A and B are shown apart, each in its own frame.
Chain A
Amino acid sequence: MTEEKNCLDSIRKCGILGVSRIAAQIKDASVIVHGPKGCVLPAFEASLTNPLSISYTEMCRETTVFGGEDDIAYKIRKEYFTNNPRIIVLISSCASEIIGDDIKGIIHSLDLDIPIITVEGGSFINDHISGCNTAMERLVHELGAPRDENSEIVNIIPPVEKYSGWKDDGAYLVKLLGKFGISARVLFCGVDVDDIRKYPSAALNVIIDREYGSKLAEYMNEEYGIPYISCGYPIGLEATDMFISSVLRALGRESRETDEMRNMLLDEVRQSFRNGLGRVTTFRYLEEICDKKKIIVGNYDTSEAFLRFLVKEFDDNVETVIVKAPKTDDNIDLEDRLKEISSGTNVIFTDDRAEIIDHIRNNDYDVILGSDNEYLAAHGEKTFAYINVEYPWARKIDFMPDGFAGYEGLLRFIEAYYNKIADKFDF
């Protein structure tokens, strides 16, 4: 265990961001934050990457003392008649949670013809990830139609806004499963309200990042009897192959043909890689890249996936992995798993932004896989290559697909990784 601390510079933003991120994936959704002016910012942040209509109840001292239920009703009606949303997601804040406004009672009294879903956004209840999970579960809970038990669709629960490539990853994984005759869809990724209603009609739920989707998968398992599996994030050959085989196994569709197809896909990606390197690989900078000092900073699944690929599949090495999670007794097995992949890698678990910044500033890394926060921490006189694998990612723009998952994504990652390092250093 790390030193006991009383305060921290948290990497976890509040639940309003997480809930808003999910709402922003629903076409014509509006978010109303029941809280003071400052609490709108996380919803605004969610709207930076996806269009979202936002308003708030202008909570003030008077509302805090006497209750803000009238303001909620007024804002909902105003939003309904002004922007014509298909759904309204009402997010509570710390202040409105503490005073205990009867939000549900107000909503019932309005009798509008669109769904109005309430989710707790207050930071003492939800952070930006648990807020995202709560919103997914709540939306299916409120909107889900009865299950069609004959449906063979596989639901992929994505890590919404975990990094810039999450949507492309989802689309690619759907395509990949399609090669095995499996029909799949990505939940909460540019959907409309009617799509969400159909979510319970599925044969299987697949969690591809342990931080995102367990709550929804468990709920759908209990309520609708839909089984679920949890795979590691499918970045790298082994992780992608494991993703496919896990889905096939869960559906009872493993066969000699699917094994052959899996092997063929692995061969194809290796072939593409070799072709891309060209005939004379001696002049490629693979050895030089290997000598560079590297760090991965991300959530557990991101860290594990990139560590496994770089060390086990790319013959590279990684000096340090920082997992953005508090070090607890529950995480000891996760640390062991990372050590199993690469015993020489220094593994740190922390949710303290200050600790991450200090570590990066005090260790001269040549290559950083992380977010713009880590980029800024390292930014200074020393040269380093930076590959974005986590939110925020505002230092780059992408018009073409940029996900790193699956076999196509892996080749994209290798391109980005190799080219950025080669551009930075005079080999």
Chain B
Amino acid sequence: MARAAQAVDGITYVDLYHDYPRFDINVDIEQQRLLDHDVILFQCPLFWYSTPSIIKEWQDLVLEHGFAFGAGGDKLSGKHMMLAVTAAGPEDAYTDEGYQRYPLRTFLKPLEQTARLCEMHFTAPYVLYGALNAPATGQADKHINGYRQLLEAIRDDSYDLPAAKDMDVVGFKNLPLLQEARS
């Protein structure tokens, strides 16, 4: 997925672990990046029902009081926050009856609320369930392909953001793309 994202022109791809191997995140650079873009997408696997730790560290430092929230903290207002996550468990595990006990979106609530507090729009995450078996079943390739389409659509303003906001999760089968004619 990282390679697919890097190959798409017209978007900015950031590898946080590459830029900050020692976790010393440069707040100025990261805030400038946020100001320069309209859609912020976190692409990561789910670790223990949350993001990998560097994304949490990034949130702690970059979404500063007075910048992202609180008094004078409206710099991100109106922007979109998205997630593209892969989960090891199969889709039916993320139900009230499944072994994960809750739907996936429940685990993503902290991020959803973070977006809300920053006055950002949180849209449905792009999800691949059962990621461990996906390369073998061919799901991974389809998911990556869909991811490329998704990124290109966001870039070209042909991704149906209002529709996505009302969806639970998005997969490669149900990408809410706008028709060419409308865009």
Note whether A and B form a binding pair: no
